[in-house]
């Protein structure tokens, strides 16, 4: 269960970071190289190291002595909750949903 909590928390943090970066990108009108480097470090480096999907896979296969049904339930919860947590994080960070694109103007004929 701790592995599930860590993976969901890491997904939430990664989504929040991505949301902040997307909101900054929209505010500036373009991506900043500094913000892109910070995002890469935080999302890929920190959140990627914090979460442990490799341990999740090993846990799912081994079951850690919990039994097949419990292992399957934790695996299903991870697969469903982590993307949802990332979306929530992006929303809270201000980057999701992205604003609608402006309607194209009719060109003069």
**DSSP one-letter string for 18-71:** HHHHHHHHHHHSS--HHHHHHHIIIIIIIIHHHS-HHHHHHHHHHGGGS-HHHH
Tens digit of pLDDT per residue, the chain (109 long)?
777 888 899 999 999 998 988 888 888 888 888 888 988 899 888 888 888 766 666 666 666 666 777 777 877 888 899 899 999 998 998 877 766 656 666 666 5
pTM exceeds 0.75, yes or no: no
């Amino acid at each position: 269960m701790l592995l599930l909590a860590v993976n969901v928390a890491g997904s939430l943090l990664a989504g929040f970071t991505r949301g902040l970066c997307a909101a900054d990108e929209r505010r500036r009108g373009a991506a900043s190289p500094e913000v892109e480097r910070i995002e890469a470090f935080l999302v890929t480096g920190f959140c990627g190291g914090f979460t442990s999907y490799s341990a999740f896979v090993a846990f799912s296969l081994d079951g850690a002595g919990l039994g097949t049904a419990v292992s399957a339930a934790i695996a299903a919860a991870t697969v469903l909750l982590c993307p949802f947590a990332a979306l929530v994080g992006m929303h809270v960070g201000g980057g999701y949903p992205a604003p609608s694109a402006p309607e194209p103007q009719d060109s003069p004929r």
